[in-house]
Structure 1
Amino acid sequence: MSALAQPIEKESSSLVVRPHPKLERHPGFQRLFRPGALTVGLILPLETHPSRPAPTMRDHVAMAQRADELGFGALWMRDVPFYDPEYGDTAHIFESMVYIGYLAAATRRIVLGTTGIVLPTHEPMYLAKQATSLDQLSGGRLVLGLSSGDRHSDYPMLGIDFDTRGERYRDAWSVFRTLTEESFPNFRSARFGGSRGTLDLVPKPPFGRIPSMAVGRSQQSTEWLANNLDGLLVFAPGPDSLVNVFDDWQMHVRAAAGEEAFKPLSLGGYLDLSSNPNEPFRRIPGGFRAGRNGLVAYLERARDAGLSHAALNPKVSRQPYAEILDELAEYVLPHFPSHE
C-alpha cells in the first residue's frame, strides 16, 4: 500500500477511518481529503469582478498554472450554461467539462472539480463518458461535484419540469454509477434509457471509481446522500455552526457506511478578502468576508470541527486576483497544505 493509501488514525481515538477502497488510490481524492486535516481550493474564475456579471477570462490559463504552482488543492468549476440577468452571474463562461479538459493539459498536480454539475439537466450516460475520460486524461485529478441546480430559468429552457429535479437527480445518479462501475450492466432507467447487458462503457475510471460528492442537499435526504455519494459540500456555515453541521453529516455517514467510513464534508462560498488582516468572519450574500488572519481562524475552526476542504470564490473581492493568490499562498496555505 502506498503512503497515500495508508489509513488515517484520528488523534482523539483509536478508530481508523478510510474512504471507499477504490478511492484510497485516487490521486485527486487523496490530495484533498484526509481525516483531521483541511485543504483549500478555488472556485473559478480566477478573476475578481464584483460589479460585472461576466469575467474577461484574461490570462485564465496563466492564473490556473500559478494556483497549481503555489500549491492550492483544487480548481472548482460551476455549471452555468445560460446568462440570466436575474441572477447576474455567468461563472467562468466556458462549459465545465470542456474547460476541465483544457486546464488538465495546462496544469500538473491541482485537482479539477465541479461545484457542481447540475445532474438533473445532464444526460448521465454522456456525463459518465466525459467523467471517465477526463479522469483518465488528467491522471486521476477529477472530483465530480453534483448539484440539483437552483436556477428556475434553466429548466424550462431545457424542457424539464423544475419540480422533478430531485427524482431526476436520483435516477441520473443510478445510471452514472452503474455505467462507471459495472461491466456490461443490465439496467433500466425511468428517464434515461437502459441496456440489456450487451454494451459496456469505455473507458472505465482509471482508479476504479470517480470521486463524487453532493453539492448542497440536492433535493435529497441526508440519509440518501450519505448512502450514495462519497462526500458533501455545503454552503459555508457560520463559525458557531461548524461542529453541529459536521456531527449531523457524520451521524448519517456512520449509519450508512459504518463507524470506519470516511466521507468528507467540505464548505464553499464567496470570499471577500478584507484589507484588514485581522477582520473576523462576517457573513455576506453567498459567502463571507474576512481578513487573512480571520480566514485562518475560521478555517482552523472548520478543520477542528472535522471538515476536510474549503472551496473559496474570491470573485467578489476588490483586489487584483494575482494579489489574492499571493496573499493566500503566503499567509493561509501554510496552515492548510494540500496532501502531496
Structure 2
Amino acid sequence: MDLRQHHETPAPAPASLAQHAPFRRVFSPGKLTFGLIAPLEAYPGSPLPTMRDHERMARLVDDAGFASIWLRDVPFLDPAFGDAGQVFDPFVYAGFLASVTKRISIGTAGIVLPLRDPVIVAKQAASVDQLSGGRFLLGLSTGDRPGEYPAFGADFDNRDERYREAFALLRQLGGQSFPAATTRHYGTLDGSLDLVPKPVRRHLPMLAVGRSRQPIDWLARNVDAWIWSVDDAQAIGDILASLRLHAGDRTPPPYGYATFFDLDKDPDAPPRRYYNVVRIGRHALIERWQAQRALGVSHVALNMKPSQRPAEEVIAEMAEHVLPLFNAD
C-alpha cells in the first residue's frame, strides 16, 4: 500500500470494537464516563508533580470506578508551559500502571506522533496492550509545544501530513501480517518483515487527541474516538453533527474532552471558569454532566493539576457522590 497520498483511504469502523470491553468502558453509546489525566495528584504551584504514592493512587482510582487513566507525552520541561505531565515516559509508565491495576483502561493523551517513529510506536503500543491484557488505548496528537520540534530535528510545518501518514502506517503494522507500505516521511516495508507482538485484538483503538491539525472529515472517517478540549454546549452540538455528516458508512467516532478540574469543597458552589480551569461544586457538576451526556458527549478526562484540594479527597467525593449516578446507567 502506498501511504503517500494526501487523503488515505478511510478504514471502516471495525465491528470488533463493539466487543472491545476496555474501549467500551470509556466510550459506550449513550453513556458518559470519566477518566483522570496523570499524574494522580494536585500540584497547582509547581510545573513538576511529586509522583509520590502513585502506585497506591492508581489502585485507588481503579477501585473508585473511573473508566480510564490518561498519560501525556511531554519529553521536556518547557517553562513557557509550566507543566511536565507525569514526567515518566508514557509507554514505560503505562506498563507500570498495567501491573498495579486490574480493570481500568490505560490510554495516552496523546503520543506526539510526528516526533516519534511509527514503527517503534506500534511496537511499544502493542507491547503495553499485551502486558495490560488488552486495556490499552492509543491516543495520538501533534503536540502543542513548538519548542520540542527542533530538539528532534522535526519539521513543525508538515506535522499534519506526517500525522496522517504515520496513523495509517500504525493501522497496518498492528492489523496486518507482513505488511507492505511505501511512505514519504518514514520507511518502506516490502512485506518480508512482520512486527511483533500484535495488539491483543489486532485492532488497537486509536484516538485523535486535540484537533491534530486534521479536518473534521478525516477525523470522522479514520479515528476510533476523539478527545478535544471543547466543552461548550453549542460547540459540542456542532462537533457531533459534523462528525455524523462526514462519517459516511461508518459509525461516527465518539467525542470526549479533557479539562483542568478543580472540585470546590462546597457542593453548592456555582461553576466558575479561570482561563482553562473549571472550578465547580458537586451539584452543579452533576447537572452539567447530565446535560452533556444528553448532548452525546462520551467521556471527560479530568486534569487535577490546579486542584485546591488533595487529589485523594476529590477522588473520594467523586466515587461516593458522582460516579455512581453515571456508572449505574
For normalisation by structure 1, the TM-score amounts to 0.90
Q: Answer yes or no: is 1:331 the counterpart of 2:321.
A: yes
SS in 2 for 1:297: helix
Alignment of 1:1-340 (within 5 A): 20-253=14-247, 255=248, 257-258=249-250, 261-337=251-327
Structure 1 residues 80-89 or 277-286, which shifts more?
Answer: 277-286
8 Å Cα contact 2:221/2:252 also seen in 1: no
Question: 1:8 maps to what in 2?
Answer: none
CA drift of 1:27 comes to: 2.3
Would the alpha carbon gap of residues 328 and 295 (structure 1) be closer, same or farther in structure 2, given more than 3 Å must change?
Answer: same
Tell me the distance in 2 between the aligned counterparts of 1:129 and 1:195: 15
Gaps of 5+ in 1: 1-17
Three-state SS of the structure 1 residue aligned to 2:297 is coil
Q: Using the alignment, how far apart are the partners of 1:252 and 1:302 within structure 2?
A: 22
Distance in 2 (CA, whole Å) between partners of 1:43 and 1:338 is 23
Q: Report if aligned partners of 1:73, 1:111 keep a CA contact under 8 Å in 2.
A: yes
> 1:247 Cα deviation (Å)?
2.0
Q: Hey, what does 2:9 align to over in structure 1?
A: none
Provide, for residues 62-107 of structure 1, a one-character-per-residue CA deviation record: whole Å limited to 9, x for no partner: 0000000111100000110000111110111100010000010000
What is the Cα-based RMSD across aligned positions, in Å? 1.6
Give yes or no for contact 1:46–1:63 (8 Å, CA) kept in 2: yes
**2:162 aligns to what SS in structure 1?**
helix
Aligned 8 A contact 2:277 2:306 in 1:
no
Shift of 1:148: 0.7
| Partner amino acid, structure 2, of 1:121 | L
Do the aligned partners of 1:25 and 1:207 also contact (CA within 8 Å) in 2? no
The one-letter code matched in structure 2 to 1:97 is F
Q: Secondary structure at the match of 2:287?
A: helix
Structure 2 length normalisation: TM-score? 0.93
Change (3 A) 1:26 1:113: same
How many Å apart are 1:242 and its aligned residue? 3.0
Q: List runs of 5+ in structure 2 lacking aligned partners.
A: 1-11
Contact 1:40/1:336 (<8 A) preserved: no
Tell me if structure 2 keeps the 8 A contact 1:129–1:202.
yes
Which whole-Å CA distance do the structure 2 matches of 1:312 and 1:211 have between them?
20
Shift of 1:22: 2.0
Distance, in Å, in 2 between the alignment partners of 1:51 and 1:92 is 15
| Contact 1:101/1:134 (8 A) holds in 2 | yes
Q: Distance in 1 between matches of 2:295 and 2:270?
A: 18
Alpha-carbon spacing, 1:79–1:312, altered in 2? closer, same or farther (3 Å):
same
- Kept in 2, the 8 Å contact 1:40–1:337? The answer is no
